[in-house]
Amino acid sequence: MCGDAAMLKPFKDKNYAYLTYPKLTVVVTAGIPGRATAMAASWHTYLSLDPPLYGVSIAPKRFTHKLITEHREFGVNFLPFELSKLIWDVGSVSGAKIDKFEKFNIKTFNGEKIRAPLIADSIVVLECKVTDTVRTGDHDFFIGEIVYAWYREDLFSKDYTLDVSKASQAYYLGKGKFIATDPRRVLEFL
């Protein structure tokens, strides 16, 4: 689909972030048993293969930020589209005030290398140990080395790509809306 530059219009608002959505949205877990939390995060990315680094951007006012700073580790939980309501819910209340795992009946399991609870219904889970924190305006970017990973083998092809005919991850569109990948719209170039 080719565009016409004449169709592009100046964007006058300073909140540019939502122009780049939809974003794959994960649930970041942090803390230790008895004092842990989970939060929705759309601002995250893979950073390096060697060493394997993953980054999440979190505002200092968030309870998750406090727990990551304190314990220097976090989990990145990639949930299926069907759990979009859970992603929305954990992103809508503060873990400083409630136990989100109990309130939202989140099934967890213990990681191999970190103490933060991990979400059992995930498609993929990354266990990360913080190697650096970078202030980026009104957020801190936590860079974590992936020290362990989990995946649902039945949802992946032999080349470790997600089989989108079996599962889709949740993409936040904005304004409380989530979308899924459409397996009919996959293009292959190899």
How many other C-beta atoms lie within 10 A of the C-beta of residue 120? 12
Kindly tell me if the per-residue pLDDT of 151 is higher than 90. Answer: yes
Using one digit for the tens of pLDDT, what is the confidence trace for 80-125? 999 999 999 999 999 999 999 999 999 999 999 999 999 999 999 9
**156 contacts: CB under 8 Å, gap ≥ 6:** 162, 163
pLDDT of residue 25: 98
Prediction pTM value: 0.94
pLDDT band at 14 (very low <50, low <70, confident <90, very high): confident
pLDDT of residue 190: 81
pLDDT of residue 185: 84
Using one digit for the tens of pLDDT, what is the confidence trace for 17-65? 888 999 999 999 999 999 999 999 999 999 999 999 999 999 999 999 9
Here the tokens at position 82 are: 């069907």
pLDDT of residue 187: 82
Q: For 82, how many CA atoms within 13 A lie in the half-sphere containing its CB?
A: 5
pLDDT of residue 170: 96
User: CA 116 to CA 109: how far, in whole Å?
Assistant: 9
Kindly tell me if the per-residue pLDDT of 76 is higher than 80. Answer: yes
pLDDT band at 160 (very low <50, low <70, confident <90, very high): very high
pLDDT of residue 184: 83
For 22-185, CATH gives 2.30.110.10
For the chain, how many residues are written?
Answer: 190
Percent of the chain residues past pLDDT 90, beyond the cut: 85
pLDDT band at 78 (very low <50, low <70, confident <90, very high): very high
**128 contacts: CB under 8 Å, gap ≥ 6:** 54, 73, 74, 75, 76, 114, 144, 145, 146, 147
Kindly tell me if the per-residue pLDDT of 1 is higher than 60. Answer: no
pLDDT of residue 134: 98
